[in-house]
Structures are given as structure tokens and as C-alpha cells.
Amino acid sequence: MSAATDSLPPEQTAAELVRSVLARAVSLSLDTDGQDYDLIGMHSVDRKGRVTLAAQADSPLAAQVAVAPRGGLAAVLEFTDIAPTPLRDRVRARVTMSGRLVPEEPEDGDGLRLDLARVTLRTAAGSVDVRPDDVTLAQPDPLAVEEAAMLTHLADAHEDMVADLIVLAGARLPQGVVRALPLSVDRYGITLRCEYREGHCDLRLLFPAQARDAAEAGEQVRRLLAATRCSHHPHPHPYPSARP
């Protein structure tokens, strides 16, 4: 398998990406009948991707739900997926979930459950509606929760490795890269953002084999690096070691 290809490489499905965004999200924006809330550390996601909000009984949100029609309070939740490294255009994806907030059953807890009606995923590639049933059946990528720690470690401690990985693009990468940082990693591979004086492009590098956890992902990165060292190319690193 080629490390970088012109054809579309293996990727998470839209439903898997939604689940991955939910798995690592610590905050969300909530819109309910004209009321806006920014909630940090107040939601949970179960194994089927169902979202529950923790709301105090005397909170404005709980009060809204209490006086809502029997079907529950219409609500729109938005999760924003932001790259953990300090690159340009850090928003990688947005997930919008629409439905109705209803009190949990007493045996389940005292939170507010979102009865899901619609899911929309927006990325640089465009916007797509994802069937709620597909979200329920999907699983987050196995690296989703550990991704931030992996990428920040690579960016902070191994800039030389990032430069070596870029060599795999060969002539397909335009000249003039002034900085490169890891953008994302999943079980299939790693994506680097290559920045120019104006604009940027993303370089997708496929792993030789799928990674089941962070340790295996590290091994796959080392295998990619071994490929650059075995190529015996005379080319220098594609961007200066000093960051602008």
C-alpha cells in the first residue's frame, strides 16, 4: 500500500467520524427555542452515541424542559472538533444534532436525554446528513480519545519526524512549505497540514497496516519513517527547521 496516494485513501465513515467527534468532545453549544447555552463538561455519550445533558433541577434549561410540550423541548446541539496543534484553520469538523430534550427515565438518572431526529456532519469536504441509526451502530475510531496527546507530542517533541514524513509526498507536494504540523490521526493513517506563505494543503499518509491503539499507531509511524530512510533520496527536508 502506498503511503500517499492520489486516490481517496481509507477513511472513517461519516457515522464513525461523528462518533469520534463525540468521543473526544468536552463542550457543546445548545440552542433551545431562542435560548443559547455553551455547556462545558455537562454532557455524556453512551455506547450507542446517545447524548445526555446534566442539568440542575433549578437551572434555566431544566425549567424550559419542564414547561415544554409533551414531546419535549426542541433542541439543536453543535459539537466543534478543533485540531489540538497550533495550525491554521483549526476547525476540522462540526457535528449538529437536532431533536428533542426529554427527562431521563427515573431508573436511568436525572439528566436530559436528546431524542435524536437528525445529524449533520460538516468538514472541509462539505456537509452531509448522517442517519441517526448509522450513528447508533457506528463506533468511534480507536484512536479518537488519545489523538490529542499523540499529535501534540509529535508536534512538540518530534518536528524532525514530521519533516521526514513529508518526504513521502515526493513531487506531489508543491514547493514552498514553511511549516508542517500533524492535523489528525486515525486507525488508517496520519494527516499533516503543510502551510505556505499563503494558504495550505493537507497530506494524507496511509499506515502500512491499521492501528488498533496508540501503541500500534506509533509503530505504524515508525514504519513510515523507515520507508523514507530506505529510499536513499538526496532531497533536503521540504521546509526550514525554524518555524516562522
Grid cell 431508573 in the structure block, residue: 107
Helix (H, G, I), strand (E, B) or coil at 177: coil
CATH number for region 14-137: 2.30.110.10
CA distance linking residue 100 with residue 80, whole number of Å: 20
C-alpha distance from residue 57 to each of 34, 36, 45, 130 (Å) = 20, 18, 20, 32
229 close to 5: Cβ distance less than 8 angstroms? no
CA distance linking residue 202 with residue 106, whole number of Å: 48
Q: Work out the number of other CB atoms within 10 angstroms of the CB of residue 189.
A: 24
The per-residue pLDDT string of the chain (244 residues; one tens digit each, 9 = 90 and over) reads 334 434 455 899 999 999 999 999 999 999 998 899 999 999 999 999 999 999 888 899 999 999 998 889 999 999 999 999 999 999 999 999 999 999 998 777 789 999 999 999 999 999 999 999 999 999 999 999 999 999 999 999 999 999 999 988 887 888 899 999 999 999 999 999 999 999 999 999 999 999 999 999 999 999 999 977 665 454 445 554 333 3
pLDDT for position 171: 79
Grid cell 472513517 in the structure block, residue: 12
Instruction: Enumerate the domain spans of the chain.
Output: 14-137, 147-230
- Residues listed for the chain: 244
Q: Work out the number of other CB atoms within 10 angstroms of the CB of residue 6.
A: 7
14-137 shares its CATH topology with 147-230: no
From the options 3.30.360.10, 3.40.190.170, 3.20.180.10, 3.40.50.20, give the CATH code of 147-230.
3.20.180.10
